[in-house]
A and B are shown apart, each in its own frame.
Chain A
Amino acid sequence: DTGVSQNPRHKITKRGQNVTFRCDPISEHNRLYWYRQTLGQGPEFLTYFQNEAQLEKSRLLSDRFSAERPKGSFSTLEIQRTEQGDSAMYLCASSYMSTSGGWGTDTQYFGPGTRLTVL
């Protein structure tokens, strides 16, 4: 059973450095999502892809954040010039949604997350 995987699991960096996280979704899933979760809160939506197209971005995703899914499979999330406020768990999720129209369930399955600590 291959679920969603994320690398690295933990990242400690100094303020001002750039970091990049990777997410590998469930293989047949065409949708991929990035969330951020801080202590004591539920996950908050950052952005989502359908195949390689980035279709929606939250206002939480500042211009220091960029996400890509170049071949419609794995995705990367890069944070430039990290700030201490970026410290959080970054979660990736994937789902399958029919693109032939009609209603769908779009149930999301999460990876284990990447814990970022900015010193």
Chain B
Amino acid sequence: GQQLNQSPQSMFIQEGEDVSMNCTSSSIFNTWLWYKQDPGEGPVLLIALYKAGELTSNGRLTAQFGITRKDSFLNISASIPSDVGIYFCAGQPRRAGGYQKVTFGIGTKLQVIP
């Protein structure tokens, strides 16, 4: 199926460092979503972005909806060991009343070194 381009695919960082990951698409989306998935669990919604240019924070997480509507990034500040996991971006088009198919990236695997 269709996938977004998400990078980096994996990263090792020291505890306390900031992290940045991004997602790009050839299609325009009207919603960008960022999920975190722990091993053996389902994705957990971190941040939802609904407007081009929107910058939204959730604790140490900040995400932005690119003004072209074809990209988004997620920043994590002052990483801690529990930030370990796989981060997925996802995009949705928007149309009245109908199903808004979610397209997922392949994920960024984050490992934090204490």
Residues of A within 8 A of B (CB): 4, 6, 31, 40-45, 48, 50, 55-56, 58, 60, 91-93, 97-99, 101-113, 115
Q: Which residue of A has the minimal Cβ distance to B33?
A: A107
Number of interface residues of B (CB under 8 A): 28
The docked-state distance in angstroms from the alpha carbon of A104 to that of B94 is 8
Cross-chain contact B92 with A42 (CB below 8 angstroms): no
Cross-chain contact B105 with A115 (CB below 8 angstroms): no
State the majority secondary structure of interface residues on A: loop
The docked-state distance in angstroms from the alpha carbon of A107 to that of B30 is 12
Residues of B within 8 A of A (CB): 1, 3, 31, 33, 35, 40-45, 48, 50, 88, 90, 92, 94-97, 99-102, 104-107
| Contact among B33, B42, B45, B99 with A48 in the assembled complex (CB-CB below 8 Å) | B99
Given A107-B45, A111-B42, A115-B40 in contact, is the A42-B106 Cβ separation under 8 Å? yes
